[in-house]
């Protein structure tokens, strides 16, 4: 492939890399965050069955813990959107 052909292909290849990166970013980023949140929800159910009298505290802790665990998923989403629309 000569230099001119490579120069015309370069923007396409850059876009292709950005799209691939976006897919990888959101896909892999979601794995950990989702497993973590599910783990929190399960443990919260277990805790509620053990101490239902502090249900409200346990529920609130579950929501806060999940929101924090969610943050990495949201970082992935933001980076993926940037890769798709900006890069």
If one counts every other C-beta atom within 10 angstroms of the C-beta of residue 22, the result is 20
Alpha-carbon torsion 16, 19, 21, 24, what sign?
Answer: negative
Q: Which of 6, 57, 63, 87 binds other proteins (CB under 8 A)?
A: 63
71 binds other proteins (CB under 8 A): no
Helices (runs of H) and strands (runs of E) counted in the chain:
2, 0
Q: Which of 16, 57, 68, 87 binds other proteins (CB under 8 A)?
A: 16
Report the C-alpha dihedral over residues 71, 50, 58, 67, rounded to 10 degrees: 10
Which residues in the 20-49 window bind other proteins by CB under 8 A?
Answer: 20-24, 26-46, 48-49
> Which residues in this chain contact other proteins in the complex, by CB under 8 A?
9, 12-13, 15-17, 19-24, 26-46, 48-50, 52, 55, 58-59, 62-63, 66-67, 70, 73-74, 76-77, 80-81, 84-85
């Amino acid at each position: 492939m000569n230099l001119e052909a490579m120069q015309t292909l370069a923007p396409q290849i850059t876009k292709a890399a950005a799209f691939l990166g976006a897919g990888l970013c959101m896909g892999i980023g979601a794995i950990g965050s989702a497993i973590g949140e599910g783990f929190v929800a399960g443990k919260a159910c277990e805790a509620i069955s053990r101490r239902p009298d502090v249900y409200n505290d346990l529920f609130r802790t579950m929501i806060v813990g999940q929101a924090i665990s969610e943050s990495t998923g949201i970082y992935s989403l933001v980076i993926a959107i940037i890769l798709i629309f900006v890069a």
